[in-house]
Structure 1
Amino acid sequence: MDTPIEPIKRRPTSSTLRYQTFTLGCTLAIQAFATGATLAFPILASMMPGLRPAQVGVFLAVVYFGAMIGSVLGSGFVTGFGPVRASQGALVLQAAGLGLLALGEPNLRLVAALLCGFGYGPITPASSQILARTTPPERMGLAFSLKQTGVPLGGLLAGAALPLAASLMSWQAAFAALALSTLIVAVASGALRSLDDQASGHIAISSTWHRPIIEVLAHRGLRAMAVVSLLFSACQLSVSGYLMAYLHQQFGLGLAQSSVIYAVTQAAGIGGRLLWGHLADRTGSSRRVLIGVCVLMAVSAAAVGAWPVQWGVVALAIASAVLGATAIGWNGVFLGEVARLAPAGRVAAVTGGALFFTYFGVVIGPPCFGWAAEHLNSIGFAYCGLAIMPVIALVLLLRRF
């Protein structure tokens, strides 16, 4: 069982602040590079010869299937090795996956996807454990939201750096460079290894891998949060995966305008994670903030999907930003609420159990959205239908009061 560590209570105030800032910076870097590793293949796919679009979808499905397993089994490694060593090991797995992609062998791609997914799964439970041990309760929402900005930040940085590296060198070299950078982050995070001092040294996951899932399902609040995260994650990947196609192909915008609105949407996701975390700390209620997120997400998804052309591009960009701030920006507040609801010493395990459902939403959400868009013959109609997801989440959150 994880035992909370409380060394920072004895530190002077200035030392405590520096320590917390450094810890947050490390977890942010870990999250950003872990996300970049999972998105590297779809980002570079257009530069890889003979690759069909459907193969990108299969790759991502395998990645997040691996993440589902890794998020649950990873809690055992967090307990046995400690959250920092677990994070380092996870990054090494992802670097290995990137290395396989750099070889350019098609038969190794699904193996690489599994490695990236297995590595991505434990990252959030481990970093949640780190922040739960080093962050005061009154700053929990903002700290978790800051750390989770690593997800859109990792996507933005990978989207900017990898194509540039590929154009200057090759797409294989771009994979290799990211693999090397990921290993460097893994080594640098060893500065936090003192947080592993109370690790049990024993890993028992063969017969108890399902325990975190059972813990989540047995707790009314955690069960509701798990389902909410499944619905939200389905929305998040549907926005990130299909918004560009909607803006360019169906709405009729040029590539430059579509790219700008897409970038604004992703940047709004970063801002949303910070804003919702700050509001959660100020109000003292993550659930109330998530209720507001549900309302805004439903309205903005329906608005973007049914946007009349005559209303203009600027207004569409604003609506897309609201959609990004909610559909991409909810994660930190969700993780902070899971950490608050978790039994003492079970933050990593319960977070892993909750993320099993989160990743399940990622696996099924985009394919279902694509199916709906194809059968409705409209991505816009699919976005209107997507608004149902946050409405269901709203009902679940309201039942908690």
Structure 2
Amino acid sequence: MAEEKKLLKVTIDNITVEVEPGTSILQAARKIGGDVAPPAMCYYSKLKGTGGKCRTCLVEVAAGSTADPRPMPKLVASCRTNVMDGMVVKNITSEKVIDARNGVVEMLLINHPLDCPICDQAGECHLQDLSYENGRPGTRYEFARRTFEKHDLGPYIQLHMTRCILCYRCVFTADQLTNKRVHGVLDRGDHSEIATYIHQSLDNDFIGNIIDVCPVGALTDKTFRFKNRVWFLKPVDAHRDCNHPGCKGKVTLWYRGDEVFRVTARKDQWGEVEDWICNECRFEKKKTSDWTIEGPTKVSRHSVISQGHYVGVQRPQEVLYDVLDGRKPKLLMDIHSVSEVNRPDIDLSKIEGPAHSTDFKND
């Protein structure tokens, strides 16, 4: 019989989980789920070598392990740090982490253009979500933003380098999915940019996947640009028998009415592609007759795409009590103790029918 692996116990935000050796803190946190999982802009579990570049997943290690319970002196990137048995990690319960993450978001937005109203990525942009949850109310940057000229990448993909945050996901995707990568990072420092030499076209059969892995609006689909907003579309799961090796033909069709506006790969709850798809499925098959429809896509209720989309709705996992180690959240004010109108013995949620003045008067 094969020897069973010894599981390691790690506590993240007062919640303990058991994982296999070699698991990163980020993956352990994702196993818990909810707000305990740190955000990630460069890490991609489907791509080897990613992570450690954006620093949005920084966490505080309060205890290294059972054998060595000393805390780590600095915040660490959870995507690049493996768990140890008995490790204690703080994410949303650490003021240092919150402050550092706010600083990272501020840095990412220094050169990023605030053109969300005209960006095709709006509504499904990870940087939008990150800045909303961890961004500062204003900017302290007073200089001109870094800009680049538009770069032609062929008939299907548009590159807006000005929006790029240099996560390198597209480079790893092209390197690991295609036979010959023709684009990469040119120059150094604040002059670094994603580009190709002599404006070569990206025409590999799987190169369209760099659109799906891009967390911002730097790489967009030319066949979909400026045609519609994602929150007006209805995502539907579909599949077809695809002859391309490596493509399972499992996609998401984005409908408005009876028209398919775009085709994308299916994504999991962390926004990562489940199965890579070929260019033929993505760009050329935009008729319902080309596909076998499976049903509406399950959309997170936190996404603007979910408006009017009520398929598979489930109550989100509540981790607040676990994060607070079993303690109930403090009430800033008990309305019954200060109000001269409400009656403490009346539970408004249990009133049958509409509430009347007699339900509130304390005579």
Larger Rg: 2
Q: Judging by fraction of residues, say which structure has more helix.
A: 1
Structure possessing the higher relative contact order (Cα contacts under 8 Å, 6 or more residues apart): 1
TM-score using structure 2 length: 0.28
Q: Judging by fraction of residues, say which structure has more strand.
A: 2
TM-score using structure 1 length: 0.26
